[in-house]
């Protein structure tokens, strides 16, 4: 899955093995990461960029269509205080990466998506 965020990046690695670090469009926190999966020929983004400082989360290309605020529409990120309803893996509404998600799935704790 890829996101539709229009954030700036702090880094410019230009490498499929070294994902760039994003800057949060809401609070400016410059250490935002996304989950990337190794597909053999490189890493592909498999989760949204998110901000650990304010809690904003990038909107995914395949998220169900929700009514967006002006800022959400502009940034391509959900607002920090919004309940996350995107299609990335969550446990109790909190994002988890794909490795953690598999463990959670195995013990039945992964949130179900419709």
Positions touching Zn ion (CB under 5 A) are 24, 26-27, 29, 51, 53-54, 56
Residue 83 in contact with residue 57, Cβ under 8 Å?
A: no
* Closer by beta carbon to Zn ion, 7 or else 36: 7
Least gap, CB of 24 to Zn ion (angstroms):
3
* Closer by beta carbon to Zn ion, 32 or else 110: 32
Least gap, CB of 109 to Zn ion (angstroms):
26
* Closer by beta carbon to Zn ion, 27 or else 37: 27
Residue 20 in contact with residue 32, Cβ under 8 Å?
A: no
* Closer by beta carbon to Zn ion, 29 or else 43: 29
Residue 23: partners with Cβ closer than 8 Å, 6 or more residues away: 7, 8, 9, 10, 29, 30, 32
Give dist(CA 73, CA 97) in Å, integer.
25
Least gap, CB of 4 to Zn ion (angstroms):
17
Q: Which residues pair with 91 in a beta bridge?
A: 94
């Amino acid at each position: 899955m890829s996101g539709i965020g229009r954030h700036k990046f702090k880094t410019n690695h230009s490498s499929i093995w070294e994902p760039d670090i994003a800057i949060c469009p809401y609070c400016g926190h410059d250490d935002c990461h996304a989950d990337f999966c190794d597909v053999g020929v490189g890493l592909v983004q498999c989760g949204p960029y998110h901000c650990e400082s304010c809690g904003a989360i990038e909107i995914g290309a395949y998220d169900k269509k929700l009514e967006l605020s002006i800022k959400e529409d502009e940034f391509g990120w959900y607002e920090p205080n919004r309940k996350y309803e995107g299609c990335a893996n969550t446990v109790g509404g909190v994002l988890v990466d794909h490795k953690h998600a598999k463990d959670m799935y195995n013990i039945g704790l992964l949130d179900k998506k419709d």
